[in-house]
Amino acid sequence: MNTNYQSLFESFSFKSGGQLKNRVVLAPMTNFASHPDGTVSDIELDYYKRRSKGVGMVVTACTYVTANGKGFNGEFGADSDEMIPSLRRLADVIKEQGAKAVLQIFHGGRMCPPELVPNGELVSASAVAAGEGKEPRALEEAEVEEIIHAFGEVTRRAIEAGFDGVEIHGANGYLIQQFFSPHSNRREDRWGGTLEKRLSFPLAVVDEVKKVVEKHADSSFIVGYRFSPEEEETPGITMADTLTLVDALAEKDLDYLHVSLMDFWSKPRRGVDNTKSRIEYLLETIANRVPLIGVGSIHTPEEAVKAIEAVPLIALGRELIMEPDWVEKVEQGRENEIATTLSKGDQEALVIPDALWQAIVNTPGWFPVVEENQR
């Protein structure tokens, strides 16, 4: 191995005691491959098996905590105890490859396709549609409590299924973010109104998850939280709002925070000046209280090393779809063999489920798709 890349392969210990063999994480990415009943499919297991050997930790695609939170076709479920055997299959496959298995848990809220939820009824913090989407129904206060409880129940199922941790999905415009956002949360009860009240739901979910972990898991069980730093809408989440959220989360004794970015070094849009990157602002606010996982357009080992100089852990998403052996090739000094594109003939070699493959090749600009097979 090139000694310049040594920092990527240092082990890492979380506050809880969980240990990773290196600093590279498989980012959570929806693959649209589960069965209609919410159970994990064989091709999904093969997809994770192919990408779990080199990394220190795998964060799975998100799983819904209640039936009215299903956000994607082909998403696997965790909303009942009947799903535990399915979840166990996934945890086992990841752990057998030597990586920690972390289940990402979420509720889609107003972002759910109506055809995937009971009676086509969307729910959210308030009756505010996302763009041209269907208007959701504002959750009653008792329903808010039920969903918080559901996050705890899914955490218990993750523990029983053998996962090493859970990641609370508070990013990408889904329900937890909807409660934090002044765009989607127009409530006037204890769950909305002021910035402080808009923090209530995310923090209540964290508290519920940690309570369940304390009761049902051993001390090494990992709990993380993923967030998006800004929203385009006005009103919407600003970078200043997110720094308030992150400051509160840093006091919650979590194992890590995970920022959702398309570009690791991107700069803020509003709320703070743009003389520094979002990562720099986040690290200043966190002040070494909790580890931050960075992500976003990291493809080469050089880019990864530069990122790891700023944060203790990096997540790779698209790059590990294109190059499942990325970590091993860097470790073996074969970095010149790393693929940073894919061609339309690569699906079988890369073990990519059909629906995800169709999304990759038919979404311009998402992946660098080339005509000629380079493998």
Dihedral angle computed from the Cα positions of residues 274, 193, 107 and 219, in that order, rounded to the nearest 10 degrees: 80
- Determine how β-strand 12-13 pairs with β-strand 19-20: antiparallel
pLDDT exceeding 90 applies to what percent of the chain?
Answer: 98
Are 177 and 313 contained in the same domain? yes
Are 325 and 192 contained in the same domain? yes
Q: How many Cβ atoms from other residues are within 10 Å of residue 220's Cβ? A: 15
Are 230 and 94 contained in the same domain? yes
Q: Kindly state the average pLDDT of the residues 271-275.
A: 96
Residue 137 structural domain: 3-335
Are 89 and 171 contained in the same domain? yes
Q: pTM of the entire structure?
A: 0.98
Are 211 and 244 contained in the same domain? yes
Q: Summarize pLDDT for 176-191 with one digit per residue, the tens.
A: 999 999 999 999 999 9
Are 230 and 367 contained in the same domain? no
Are 313 and 356 contained in the same domain? no
Are 158 and 197 contained in the same domain? yes
Is the confidence at residue 374, as pLDDT, over 80? no
Q: Write the single-letter amino acid at 359.
A: A
* Interatomic CA distance for residues 112 and 107, integer angstroms: 9
174 is catalytic: yes
Q: Kindly state the average pLDDT of the residues 322-344.
A: 96
Are 236 and 346 contained in the same domain? no
Count of domains forming the chain: 2
Write the CATH number for 180: 3.20.20.70
pLDDT at 272: 97
Are 264 and 371 contained in the same domain? no
Confidence of residue 375 (pLDDT cuts 50, 70, 90): low
**Catalytic residue from among 48, 174, 225, 281:** 174
Are 90 and 177 contained in the same domain? yes
Are 256 and 287 contained in the same domain? yes
